[in-house]
Every structure is written in structure tokens, then in C-alpha cells.
């Protein structure tokens, strides 16, 4: 029986429920907690984390489960626990505050504020004694220096409000040119690691939108060295411990320059985007390993991260039984017991069961450092024999690993991350033509419509244990719009476009900032926080505004609504200067730069064989494109108006909605594109 229970017991978030029996009297973020702080004139202690976070678990064990710490926190603070995945709006505000105060951020994020929510102090992980000392000093300072505390809170809040604030529309009207993109990428190249892939620093994050932009740019400009770098990066990410060589799927980031030692948590959003990236890279490079990575990662998603209803769970923990990475690493003795003598000899070379693959405490991370041909040469065996043996080794290790205690699962369903996974499945379907991929995407799309949507087209943020309680943020709408647009391109079923346009209308009604030409992260239907942010920087997840701008650009072509394209270009213009200065932080925006600086192909397939001919055309890598089509005469899309002819399947290649003469032959259409 649990000795303590606090208000988090009524929540559905697995992360919040992890803290429901702490002696700390935690509240969720709600009116009760905020009013209590104001009424009792107590400081708010806002602690933000997420279920898969290793250092969140450490701080809970050391401090939040400790009676001495709990007594201090309960006596002088109103303590609020936040799941950053449920409330990215709150997380973002107080992350900005802590970064302004300390110069760095991370989780657990701890921020102390005045009763009205204005921040005065913060940091990330604290050992127990440091935590106690800091809180005691805060309590004393707040009591003895109220005026100074108020002044500091005011200045800091102003600083938070100014971050990512775009006051007005950029009226320069200058569109980006190919030469501009060349200059941006040239300065970016200085930051690349040409030996190990990725950026020349660590920790190394996969950053899928970075490499998708660079891949498309390099292909369009025919930059062979940059294409080689992208190929290298994608191979190195898979060879290292970042990629789970036994069960498939990627960890969140690598702690070193070699992609060897991961932070072992697995996030849905990373894997969704990496499926899209590796699918596109396969089309560009035709590397068989990339196809294999997509299949294995989607196998991991199917086995570990998919609900019975077809939605996708959020994450797997980094820790097992309190030890980071325990589920994923191997001792040499264990491998010798599980494998035959020949298999161990092969594994020793192929997976670096040596000083290269050694991690700590006699444990090894499976880490590939050579191409299969090179490994086969070292072992003096045929490469096909090597690959068959490696397959058998992986099957044995997967079976053995299945008997271990699994990392805990965060089973909440987040709308935006599910939308990314829908898009990942569709992207894989369009490249590999596996029906299961499309069926999985459609099943999740229907789940969102049924369980995460209201009748007025409002979206909810998350779903857990049958409950939806938090309004969606701009990223939920933006990623859902992008995913449903992609479903249309895969199926030519206009119901997906109809739904996407309804969400666009809702976004204009409730998120639009007419002054800046951009869109707020939070809806006008949500209670106000200390600032209303506009998210424009592309990070491990693309910014909501960049995603929305890309969709507005494409939807304007399909629907004929020219205002949407005009708005998309205005949004891009507003961030163009920042993109020019720091390309990697605006790489998803950079896609619009590619749309404008290079030919953007609008390709329509009309007639009974539309899907078959689309499939044939998509065997070629065409990064700058929009696909549309119809199997029948009637279409509600203005782009397809007047393009249908009985008893023919016609292909139209267009730019700026000006189409060349239709052709029936896919090769002829490709000749007009490539």
C-alpha cells in the first residue's frame, strides 16, 4: 500500500502518475493550484519532465521521494508537475526562462515563479543537497526582498516575451534565390563532420529535417560531395548504437561523435521522421540497407509502439530496473553463451565486441564500423554468407532479449507525433509499395478523426485511458494537415484534403497573428500564460509554422486558394533572414526556399489507371513536387478541373498551375521533369 498520494493520481499521463505517490504534494497545472498559490502568496515550483527521461527518474528518487525534501517543498511552495509532452506550451516558456538565467536547458526542468507565474529562478537536475540549499535560499530571499524579486521577475518575463517574437510582417517581398541557398549551405558545410557524419560536435541528434533539406538541395543542385556526406551520415547513424541493431528503431541521440553510445530512450517522433528520411534516401541512393532500416523500424513500431486501435504510443524509457540502457547492451560472456563459436567470431568483428564497442561495466554496445563487404573480407568469408549469419545472430539475440525486463512504455497518444507517424508510413508506402504501410497510416488517421477531434474540427492534444482533456496546439494541427495531405497524394481520395482544409480554416480562426503573418502556438480558446509564443525554429521536430507554411503552399495549388500560397510565402519571408544566418535551425523552412528557387512540379494523374501510373513515376526521385489525381470525372479540386477525358489516363506536368500538353506515357512525363 502506498503511504502517500497526491493530486496527480487523477491524471492519465504516465509521467504524472509516476509521481502520484511522492510525499511531495504535487498538483497538475490547473486553476486550483494557481489560485491556491495566489491565495496563500506562495511561490510556484514548476517541475517539467517526461516519462522516458533518465535524469528525471534520478531526481525523483533522490529528492522527490525524500521526506526532508518533501517537507521543505510542501511548506513553502505550491508544487506543480508538468508532462512536457502534454504541455509543450508551458515547457517552452519556462525552458526559455531557465536558458536566459543559466545559458542551458534540459530535463528535468525546474523553475520557481511568483504566484502569478512570472519566473525568478530555475535550473535542470540538482543533487539532493544542492536542491535543498537552493530552495532554502529562495524562500529567504523571497521573504526578505519582495520588491527586488518583483523587479527581477518583471525583467525576466519581458526577456521571455521577446524571444521568438516577430513584431510585424517583413514587407521586403524578396523571394529567395538559388544563390542565396548556395551561400546558406556553404556556411553550413563548415559545421559538418565528414568522417563520422552529422554535425562536428556532440551530443549528436538525428535531426531528420536537416538531412532531408540537404538531400533535396544536393540532388537539385547536383552537389556530389554533399550527396556523399548525406549517404555517409545515414549509414553511420545506422551502424552506431543510436540504431537498435536487434529490435529496430532509433534512440533519441548519441552522446559521442561516433553515434556509438545513445541516450537509450526511444521517441515516436524521431522514428516517424527517420522512416520518412530513410525512405526518401533509398529513392535517391538505392542503398539496400536503407530499405532494411525502414522495414525494421516500422517492425519495431508495430511490435512495441502501436495500440490495438491503431494509434501510436509516445516513448520507451531509457532505463530498465533503474539502469540506463540495461535492456540493450551485452556482456561478452552472455554473447558467448547465446551464440555458436562461429557466430561469436563473426559478431566479434561485425559488431565490435572489442575496445571499439566497449561501453562500461563489462558491457558492449553493438556497433558496426565497416561496410558488409569490408567485414566479410576481414573474416575471409563471402559477403552473402556473412549477411545470413548476422541475420541468425540478430534473431538469437532478439529472442534472448525478449526474456529481459522491458523498458517502461509511455502509452499516451499525442496527436502531432501520431501525424508524423502517419506521414512516415505513407512516405514508406509511396517508395516501397507495401499495402500494410498505407493501411497502418489510414487506421491511425481514422483514430485521430474519431478520438482526437471535436465536431467543430478542433483537435485535442493527447489521448490516454480513453480521455482527452487538453486542447491541441498549432503543431497538432500543422502535422495533421501535412499527414492528411500526404494521404491524399497516396490514395487520391479527396476526403483527406477536405479534412485538412477544415483544420486550416480552424487554425486561421483561432491561431492567426495578423500582425506578424505567422501563427501562435496556442489557441485563443486556451487560458492565457505569461506570454503567447510563436514557434518558428526547426529543432528535432520541425516548427509548427514551417510545417503549416509548406501545407498552405501545396493546398493553394490543389484548391485554387491563392491567398494560402501568398500567406505561406509571407511566413517564409518573415524568417528568411534567420534562415540565411543559421540554416540548420530553419531547414524545414528551407523546403519552401527549394520550392521557389528550383522548378516545382505539380503532377496530375487523371483516369482509371491514375494510381498505377503514379506508382511507376514515383520510382524516380523527384524531390520538388506535388502529386494530385483522380480516377473519375468528378473532382472538387480546382487543380483537376477540365483534365479528365473518357477512356484515357493522362499525365499533366505543370508549374505555377500552368500545364504542358497531357501525355499518356510515364516516360514522356519524366522527360519533362528530369
- Over the stretch 419-442, which tens digit does the pLDDT of each residue have? 999 999 999 999 999 999 999 999
Domain CATH for 32: 3.40.30.10
* pLDDT for 674: 84
In angstroms, what CA-CA distances link 344 with 5, 332, 341?
50, 9, 5
92 and 133 share one domain: yes
Question: What letter would DSSP give residue 204?
Answer: B
* pLDDT for 336: 97
The answer to whether position 493 is within a domain reads yes
Query: What mean pLDDT do residues 380-386 have?
Result: 96
Alpha carbon distance 272, 425 (integer Å): 8
The answer to whether position 14 is within a domain reads yes
Full domain range(s) for residue 652: 601-673
In the structure, what pLDDT confidence band is assigned to residue 1 with cuts at 50, 70 and 90?
low
Taking the CA atoms of 192, 196, 201 and 202 in sequence, report the sign of the dihedral they define.
Answer: positive
In the structure, what pLDDT confidence band is assigned to residue 172 with cuts at 50, 70 and 90?
confident
| pLDDT, tens only, 518-549 | 999 999 999 999 999 999 999 999 999 999 99
The answer to whether position 607 is within a domain reads yes
Nearby residues of 323 by Cβ (< 8 Å), 6 or more positions away: none
Among candidate residues 579, 597, 615, the one where a domain is terminated: 597
The answer to whether position 1 is within a domain reads no
* pLDDT for 475: 98
| pLDDT, tens only, 553-578 | 999 999 999 999 999 999 999 999 99
> Could you tell me the three cell numbers for 116?
502569478
* pLDDT for 635: 87
CA angle 258, 259, 260 (to 5 degrees): 85
Query: What mean pLDDT do residues 222-246 have?
Result: 97
**Mean pLDDT over each residue of the chain, to the nearest integer:** 95
In the structure, what pLDDT confidence band is assigned to residue 171 with cuts at 50, 70 and 90?
confident
280 and 338 share one domain: no
User: At residue 84, does pLDDT exceed 90?
Assistant: yes
Q: Residue 655 in 3-state DSSP?
A: strand
Taking the CA atoms of 446, 448, 453 and 459 in sequence, report the sign of the dihedral they define.
Answer: negative
In the structure, what pLDDT confidence band is assigned to residue 636 with cuts at 50, 70 and 90?
confident
The answer to whether position 167 is within a domain reads no
| pLDDT, tens only, 73-83 | 999 999 999 99
103 and 116 share one domain: yes
User: At residue 87, does pLDDT exceed 70?
Assistant: yes
User: At residue 104, does pLDDT exceed 70?
Assistant: yes
In angstroms, what CA-CA distances link 621 with 215, 273, 282, 544?
11, 18, 9, 26
User: At residue 657, does pLDDT exceed 90?
Assistant: no
Domain CATH for 580: 1.50.10.20
567 and 669 share one domain: no
* pLDDT for 3: 86
Is beta strand 43-49 parallel, antiparallel or unpaired with respect to 77-83? parallel
Q: What share of the chain is helix, strand, coil (3-state, %, to 5)?
A: 50, 15, 35
User: At residue 455, does pLDDT exceed 60?
Assistant: yes
| pLDDT, tens only, 179-220 | 999 999 999 999 999 999 999 999 999 999 999 999 999 999
393 and 460 share one domain: no
Total domains present in the chain: 4
| pLDDT, tens only, 288-322 | 999 999 999 999 999 999 999 999 999 999 999 88
Alpha carbon distance 209, 201 (integer Å): 18
385 and 297 share one domain: no
Query: What mean pLDDT do residues 58-78 have?
Result: 97
The answer to whether position 169 is within a domain reads no
Alpha carbon distance 272, 540 (integer Å): 12
435 and 456 share one domain: yes
* pLDDT for 469: 84
Among candidate residues 548, 568, 597, the one where a domain is terminated: 597
What is the CB-side half-sphere exposure of residue 263 using CA atoms within 13 A? Answer: 15
586 and 611 share one domain: no
How many helices (H) does the chain have, and how many strands (E)? 25, 22
* pLDDT for 163: 84
Alpha carbon distance 532, 522 (integer Å): 7
Percent of the chain exceeding pLDDT 70 equals 99
585 and 500 share one domain: yes
User: At residue 27, does pLDDT exceed 80?
Assistant: yes
Mean pLDDT is lowest, of 142-156, 191-205, 485-499, 630-644, for 630-644
Alpha carbon distance 653, 614 (integer Å): 12
Residue 601, φ and ψ in degrees, nearest 5: -95, 125
* pLDDT for 148: 94
The answer to whether position 570 is within a domain reads yes
388 and 478 share one domain: no
185 and 212 share one domain: yes
| pLDDT, tens only, 616-626 | 999 999 999 99
45 beta partners = 79, 112
The answer to whether position 168 is within a domain reads no
Query: What mean pLDDT do residues 258-280 have?
Result: 97
Question: What letter would DSSP give residue 561?
Answer: -
Among candidate residues 137, 162, 187, the one where a domain is terminated: 162
132 and 153 share one domain: yes
Amino acid at each position: 500500500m502506498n503511504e502517500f498520494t497526491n493530486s496527480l493520481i487523477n491524471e492519465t499521463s504516465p509521467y504524472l502518475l509516476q509521481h502520484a505517490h511522492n510525499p511531495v504534494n504535487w498538483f497538475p497545472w490547473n486553476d486550483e493550484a494557481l489560485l491556491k498559490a495566489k491565495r496563500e502568496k506562495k511561490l510556484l515550483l514548476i517541475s517539467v519532465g517526461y516519462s522516458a527521461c533518465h535524469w528525471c527518474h534520478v531526481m525523483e528518487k533522490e529528492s522527490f521521494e525524500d521526506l526532508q525534501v518533501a517537507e521543505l517543498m510542501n511548506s513553502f511552495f505550491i508544487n506543480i508537475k508538468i508532462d512536457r509532452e502534454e504541455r509543450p506550451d508551458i515547457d517552452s516558456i519556462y525552458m526559455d526562462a531557465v536558458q536566459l538565467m543559466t545559458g542551458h536547458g534540459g530535463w528535468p526542468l525546474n523553475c520557481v515563479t511568483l504566484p502569478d507565474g512570472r519566473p525568478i529562478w530555475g535550473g535542470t537536475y540538482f543533487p539532493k543537497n544542492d536542491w535543498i540549499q537552493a530552495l532554502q535560499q529562495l524562500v529567504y530571499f523571497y521573504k526578505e526582498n519582495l520588491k527586488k524579486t518583483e523587479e527581477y521577475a518583471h525583467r525576466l518575463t519581458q526577456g521571455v516575451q521577446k524571444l521568438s517574437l516577430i513584431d510585424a510582417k517583413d514587407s521586403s517581398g524578396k523571394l529567395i534565390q538559388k544563390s542565396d541557398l548556395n551561400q546558406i549551405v556553404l556556411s553550413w558545410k563548415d559545421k559538418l563532420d565528414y568522417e563520422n557524419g552529422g554535425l562536428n560536435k556532440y551530443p549528436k541528434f538525428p535531426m531528420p529535417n536537416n538531412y532531408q533539406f540537404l538531400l533535396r538541395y544536393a540532388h537539385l543542385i547536383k552537389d556530389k560531395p554533399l550527396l556523399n556526406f548525406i549517404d555517409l551520415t545515414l549509414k553511420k547513424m545506422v551502424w552506431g548504437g543510436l540504431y537498435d541493431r536487434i529490435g529496430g528503431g532509433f534512440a533519441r541521440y548519441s552522446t559521442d561523435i561516433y553515434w556509438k553510445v545513445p541516450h537509450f530512450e526511444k521517441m515516436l517522433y524521431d522514428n516517424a521522421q527517420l522512416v520518412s528520411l530513410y525512405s526518401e534516401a533509398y529513392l535517391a541512393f538505392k542503398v539496400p540497407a536503407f530499405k532494411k532500416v525502414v522495414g525494421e523500424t516500422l517492425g519495431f513500431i508495430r511490435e512495441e509502439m502501436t495500440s490495438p486501435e491503431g494509434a501510436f504510443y509516445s516513448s520507451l524509457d531509457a532505463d530498465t530496473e533503474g539502469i540506463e540502457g540495461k535492456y540493450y547492451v551485452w556482456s561478452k560472456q552472455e554473447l558467448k553463451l547465446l551464440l555458436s563459436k562461429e557466430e561469436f567470431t563473426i559478431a566479434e568483428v561485425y559488431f565490435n565486441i572489442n575496445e571499439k564497442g566497449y561501453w562500461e561495466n563489462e558491457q558492449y554496445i553493438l556497433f558496426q564500423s565497416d561496410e558488409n563487404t569490408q567485414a566479410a573480407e576481414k573474416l575471409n568469408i563471402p559477403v552473402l554468407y556473412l549477411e545470413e549469419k548476422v541475420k541468425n545472430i540478430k534473431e538469437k539475440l532478439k529472442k534472448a532479449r525478449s526474456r529481459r525486463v522491458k523498458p517502461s512504455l509511455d502509452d499516451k497518444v499525442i496527436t502531432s507525433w501520431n501525424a508524423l507517424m502517419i506521414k512516415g508510413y505513407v512516405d514508406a508506402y509511396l517508395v516501397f509499395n507495401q499495402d500494410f504501410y498505407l493501411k497502418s497510416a489510414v487506421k491511425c488517421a481514422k483514430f485521430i478523426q474519431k478520438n482526437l477531434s471535436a465536431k467543430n474540427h478542433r483537435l485535442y492534444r493527447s489521448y490516454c485511458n480513453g480521455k482527452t482533456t487538453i486542447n491541441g496546439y498549432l503543431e497538432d494541427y500543422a502535422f495533421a494537415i501535412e499527414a492528411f495531405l500526404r494521404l491524399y497524394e497516396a490514395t487520391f481520395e479527396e476526403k483527406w484534403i477536405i479534412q485538412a482544409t477544415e483544420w486550416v480554416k480552424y487554425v486561421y480562426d483561432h491561431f492567426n497573428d495578423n500582425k506578424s503573418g505567422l501563427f501562435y502556438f496556442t489557441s485563443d480558446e486556451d487560458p492565457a500564460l505569461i506570454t503567447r509564443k510563436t514557434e518558428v525554429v526547426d529543432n528535432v521536430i520541425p516548427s509548427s509554422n514551417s510545417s503549416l507554411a509548406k501545407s498552405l503552399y501545396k493546398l493553394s495549388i490543389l484548391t485554387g486558394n491563392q491567398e494560402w500560397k501568398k500567406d505561406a510565402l509571407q511566413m517564409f519571408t518573415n524568417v528568411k533572414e534567420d534562415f540565411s544566418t543559421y540554416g540548420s535551425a530553419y531547414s524545414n523552412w528551407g523546403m519552401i526556399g527549394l520550392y521557389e528557387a528550383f522548378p516545382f512540379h505539380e503532377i496530375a494523374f487523371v483516369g482509371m489507371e491514375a494510381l498505377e501510373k503514379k506508382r511507376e513515376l514515383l520510382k524516380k526521385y523527384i524531390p520538388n513536387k506535388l502529386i494530385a489525381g483522380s480516377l473519375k470525372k468528378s473532382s472538387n479540386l480546382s487543380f483537376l478541373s477540365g483534365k479528365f477525358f473518357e477512356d484515357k489516363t493522362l499525365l499533366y506536368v505543370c508549374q505555377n498551375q500552368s500545364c504542358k500538353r497531357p501525355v499518356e506515357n510515364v516516360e514522356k512525363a519524366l522527360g519533362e521533369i528530369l
